[in-house]
Amino acid sequence: MSPLITPEELAALHEVTILDVRWRLGGPPGADSYAEGHIPGAVFCDLDADLASPAGPGGRHPLPAADAFQASMRRLGVSAGRTVVVYDDADSTAAARAWWTLRYYGHGDVRVLDGGLRAWARAGLPVVKERDDVTPGDFEAVPGGMPLLDADQAAALAESGVLLDARAGERYRGEVEPIDPVAGHIPGAVSAPTAQNVEPGGRFRSRGFLRERFNTLGVVDGVQVGAYCGSGVTAAHEVLALEVAGITAALYAGSWSNWVADPSRPVATG
């Protein structure tokens, strides 16, 4: 089953939990956008509060602890036996973080609305301001549902397999670094900006296109692959694109912000 769902397919579902995961680094707050209009029945999911722990040595968006994530998802109405659809209003970067985190903690039926709220509205489907009452869910968070890398494992994978850097090329090359204190990339990593995974309107490119793209980057049968970015958000989008292409990949959740927290770790540029 594809990890993506179209607006028309979502509109036809009756038993579904919908999470609005609109978020942008530096704002505006996603909750404000949600209040201005959202998909009927959707509940706002705060990426910073619900899908991450507080920033620190583990990175700018460390994974939430299992008990905290379970409590958040239950509050948002997530249950194990009920399909979850996640969306944002851009290219599914924030939605991919929700998809990955739910999958990592054991939910087996999570879909990403391809094209997000913009695709939903373009399809002529309703957008509302009303908030429905949420019935608490029964989701149990059990880690291990998706492959996860720490810093040492990411370094090893860059040598033995393919470690994709999902950030923009200029950040990979170390030409600019607007967020983290050190510029550059993990030695041996391959530049693979996520912008190339989607069409101009925000929908994912076809399975065939994505598979060919990743093949040219060295992701071929029998080779292990992982992804990282600045804080583990954009890299989840890379893992999702790989999943669309039929390729299983690991996520270095701490990503660059965790890597450079230890000054002894090597940094490559160029």
Q: Is the pTM of this model over 0.95?
A: yes
Domain count, the chain: 2
Has residue 130 been placed in a domain?
Answer: no
Q: 19 and 99 share a domain? A: yes
Has residue 142 been placed in a domain?
Answer: no
How confident is residue 6, by pLDDT bands cut at 50, 70 and 90?
Answer: very high
How confident is residue 26, by pLDDT bands cut at 50, 70 and 90?
Answer: confident
Q: 165 and 251 share a domain? A: yes
Q: Residue 177 sits in a domain of what CATH number?
A: 3.40.250.10
Has residue 127 been placed in a domain?
Answer: no
The pLDDT tens digits for 40-88 are 999 999 999 999 999 999 999 999 999 999 999 999 999 999 999 999 9
Q: 48 and 86 share a domain? A: yes
Residue 24: the pLDDT is 86
Residues 6+ apart with CB under 8 A from 200: none
Active-site annotation, residues = 229
Residue 1: the pLDDT is 80
Q: 12 and 85 share a domain? A: yes
Residue 58: the pLDDT is 96
Residue 15: the pLDDT is 93
24 or 229, which is more confident: 229
Has residue 143 been placed in a domain?
Answer: no
Average pLDDT, the chain: 97
How confident is residue 118, by pLDDT bands cut at 50, 70 and 90?
Answer: very high
Q: Residue 100 pLDDT > 90, yes or no?
A: yes
Q: 157 and 95 share a domain? A: no
Residue 189: the pLDDT is 98
The pLDDT tens digits for 150-187 are 999 999 999 999 999 999 999 999 999 999 999 999 99
Has residue 268 been placed in a domain?
Answer: no
Has residue 141 been placed in a domain?
Answer: no
Q: 9 and 108 share a domain? A: yes
Has residue 138 been placed in a domain?
Answer: no
Q: 102 and 179 share a domain? A: no
Q: Residue 90 pLDDT > 90, yes or no?
A: no
For 269, half-sphere exposure in the C-beta direction (CA atoms, 13 angstrom radius) is 7
Q: 70 and 154 share a domain? A: no
Q: 189 and 255 share a domain? A: yes
Q: 111 and 153 share a domain? A: no
How confident is residue 25, by pLDDT bands cut at 50, 70 and 90?
Answer: confident
Has residue 237 been placed in a domain?
Answer: yes
Residue 10 sits in which domain range?
Answer: 4-122
